[in-house]
Structure 1
Amino acid sequence: MTAISDFFTFIGERWSVLSFLAYQHMSLVVQSLLLATLLALVLGVLATQTNWGVTVAQTFSAVGLTIPSYALLGLLVGIVSIGVLPSVIVLVFFGFLPILRNVVVGLRGVDPALIESARGMGMGRMATLVRLEIPLAWPVIMTGVRVSAQMLMGVAAIAAFALGPGLGGYIFSGISRMGGANATNSVVAGTLGIILLAIILDVVLNLLTRLTTSKGIARV
């Protein structure tokens, strides 16, 4: 009970700092996720135009996820220095991969007969893509976005290695002082904060998916 009491005292004394770091963490993840989603949509659409493009996209997304985020961040630090920039690059890269895979899967899963029917009604390539293919593939695409968001919450913590913003700094600080005063509280506070942010973001994305999915698709 004493440990729990000390932990809540620790949180209360540092609430303003923790809440600001939580805001930074969420902001970093959301902005990187938006960039990754836009990039994945554009490249995913281009990739699905040919069979070899689909193969390249799927292979790249699978191989890319095997790269250790810590190693990639360390490499970027040597190229672009420390701070926000390497953190954003790493998050966009890893966020891009699962979304790209789901964009390809979603678009390739659209019934070709529906596309041909749309073309027969006089719809152009862009109109068919925007009004038919993407809406039909949207639930699959958003699943990729949600998976990416959860992954980026953890990757953003590692970004503290490059002095990136967010709660990761509290975790690294606690680990470096392990055995010292409040070291464990620092690690636990940072970890629980990231878990809470991940839950909040997933709820928001789930609600966004429901609101932006066509009612006809949602009932299927």
Structure 2
Amino acid sequence: MSFTDFFISRFEIIMELTLEHLQMVLIAMTISIILGIVIGVLITYNERVAKVMISIAEVLMTIPSLALFAVLIPIFHIGATPAIIGLVLYTQLPIVRNVYTGIKSINPAIVESAKGMGMSDFKIMYKIKLPLAFPVLLAGIRTSVVIGVGMGAIASYVGAGGLGDYIFQGIQRTNDKMVIIGAIMISLMAIIMDRILYLIQKKAEIK
């Protein structure tokens, strides 16, 4: 059977696993982005806390992904929960670091002018700092999303499903077509999501 015929004959299951993978990544990345932005914003007010939080995020990212998932299994058991939590933890560094860097790189004169106009710290943050840091923030989100899509394949080891199941089934059956198709679908997903975020980032930079 040719590669094309194999893909067509299994199109339904491939699409089902692709949607399952996409859903898992979108849930994890939504949580990761919100959490990363909140942490990134809060640590801009304290340099010591910033160093600690960024160091923790760096350590989490150095842990082998499979080991991280394995540690979560005894606590959250098999399924989507440990996979999502693992993805959230693993993708924090680029978001937290870029939010922090983007905000701290803003010209202090701009912030002082806003304070002189009587704006509160909260208003300065969401009306001035975050909009100015948005392109840098998006760059971090792009990196995290690509990492999350790729790591989603390994999450199948904890029973999360997705395209990782197809790849590992292919390895077990020595079926190179299954492995290649799973890898291609994950790559396409990462490229498409990265491209969408890239276009948003470029529009933000133009503004």
TM bucket, shorter chain: over 0.9
CA shift at 1:210, angstroms? 3.6
Runs (4+) of structure 1 moved beyond 4 Å?
none
Q: Deviations over 1:7-59 (max 9, x none)?
A: 11110001011111111111211221111011011111111101102211221
Q: Over aligned residues, Cα RMSD in angstroms?
A: 1.3
* 1:144 equivalenced with 2:140 (yes/no): yes
Structure 2 CA distance for aligned equivalents of residues 72 and 200 of structure 1: 27
Which amino acid in structure 2 is aligned with residue 123 of structure 1? Answer: M
Structure 1 CA distance for aligned equivalents of residues 71 and 59 of structure 2: 18
Structure 2 CA distance for aligned equivalents of residues 148 and 24 of structure 1: 19
1:57 corresponds to which of 53, 76, 83: 53
Give 3-state SS (helix, strand or coil) of 1:48's partner: helix
Q: Deviations over 1:35-89 (max 9, x none)?
A: 1011011111111101102211221222221111100111112221111101101
Report matched runs for 1:3-152 at 5 Å. 6-152=2-148
Deviating more after overlay: 148-157 vs 54-63: 54-63
Runs (5+) with no aligned partner, structure 2:
none
Structure 1 CA distance for aligned equivalents of residues 124 and 34 of structure 2: 19
Which amino acid in structure 2 is aligned with residue 105 of structure 1? Answer: T
Structure 2 CA distance for aligned equivalents of residues 22 and 93 of structure 1: 22
Match for residue 190 of structure 2? 198
Q: Is the 8 A contact 1:44 1:103 kept in 2?
A: yes
Q: Is the 8 A contact 1:32 1:95 kept in 2?
A: no
* 1:163 equivalenced with 2:159 (yes/no): yes
Structure 2 CA distance for aligned equivalents of residues 70 and 155 of structure 1: 9
CA shift at 1:209, angstroms? 2.5
Q: Structure 1-normalised TM-score?
A: 0.90
Q: Is the 8 A contact 1:174 1:186 kept in 2?
A: yes
CA shift at 1:98, angstroms? 1.3
Q: Structure 2-normalised TM-score?
A: 0.95
Q: Is the 8 A contact 1:40 1:96 kept in 2?
A: yes
Structure 1 CA distance for aligned equivalents of residues 75 and 173 of structure 2: 29
CA shift at 1:208, angstroms? 2.6
Which amino acid in structure 1 is aligned with residue 47 of structure 2? Answer: N
Structure 1 CA distance for aligned equivalents of residues 161 and 2 of structure 2: 26
CA shift at 1:207, angstroms? 2.3
Structure 2 CA distance for aligned equivalents of residues 10 and 57 of structure 1: 47
Number of aligned residue pairs: give it: 207
* 1:209 equivalenced with 2:205 (yes/no): no
Identical positions, percent: 36
Structure 2 CA distance for aligned equivalents of residues 141 and 30 of structure 1: 18
